[in-house]
Amino acid sequence: MSWELEVIGDSTINNLKYKEVFLGYALRQDSINSKLYMLNYESNEEYVIMDLNLAKGDSFELKNPYLETKYIVVDSVYSENGRKIIQLNYSKVFVYNTYDYEKFKFIEGIGSNMGITYQFNFMFDHPYLLCYQNDTVSYRSPFFESCD
């Protein structure tokens, strides 16, 4: 199964500019601090969903309104196809019949490889980014053959 996220408009909330997303969320980019935030309309709470300032050994807070807050550690920072990648020390089975694993990553200019709503369903089933395609393919999961 696959799905796409659609930005449906711009909005200003608490004097901050957001992009509204079809699923009841709003996204805000802070390019000065290299962070991406998501506002959950249901809880009216904002979450950091990507931080490109993290370094190896830093902890990232997984804040979930339904579960206790968890912290995961950055295990590497590298560049791939000209994009900075922050890889965290968390993985989950990607392909159940072969038990392949892919680590949780923040990908510069794209987002998380576990979707933008991972904060709300982390540790449960959540989507994986199979590919990101603009004019050219910029990211493809090692478990996905093409972006057709």
pTM: 0.80
Q: What is the predicted pLDDT for the residue at 81? A: 81
Q: What is the predicted pLDDT for the residue at 130? A: 75
Task: For residue 96, count CB atoms less than 10 angstroms from its CB and return exposed for 0-12, middle for 13-18, buried for 19 or more.
Answer: exposed
Q: Residue 129 has what DSSP assignment? A: -
Q: What is the predicted pLDDT for the residue at 13? A: 85
Q: What is the predicted pLDDT for the residue at 97? A: 55
Q: Strands 7-13, 16-21: parallel, antiparallel or unpaired by DSSP?
A: antiparallel
Best CA proximity match to 60, nearest among 42, 76, 73: 73
Q: What is the predicted pLDDT for the residue at 53? A: 96
Q: What is the predicted pLDDT for the residue at 136? A: 66
Q: Which CA distances in Å does 68 have to 31, 61, 71, 74?
A: 29, 11, 10, 20
Residues of the chain with pLDDT under 50: 123
Q: What is the pLDDT of residues 100-109, one digit of tens each?
A: 677 889 999 8
Rounded CA separation 133/137 (Å): 4
Best CA proximity match to 95, nearest among 141, 148, 147, 146: 141
Best CA proximity match to 90, nearest among 100, 69, 80, 105: 105
Domain assignments of the chain as residue spans, ordered by start: 7-140
| Single-letter code of the amino acid located at 110 | I
DSSP code per residue over 83-115 = EEEEEEEEEEEEETTTTEEEEEEEETTTEETT-
Q: What is the predicted pLDDT for the residue at 68? A: 77
Q: What is the predicted pLDDT for the residue at 67? A: 72
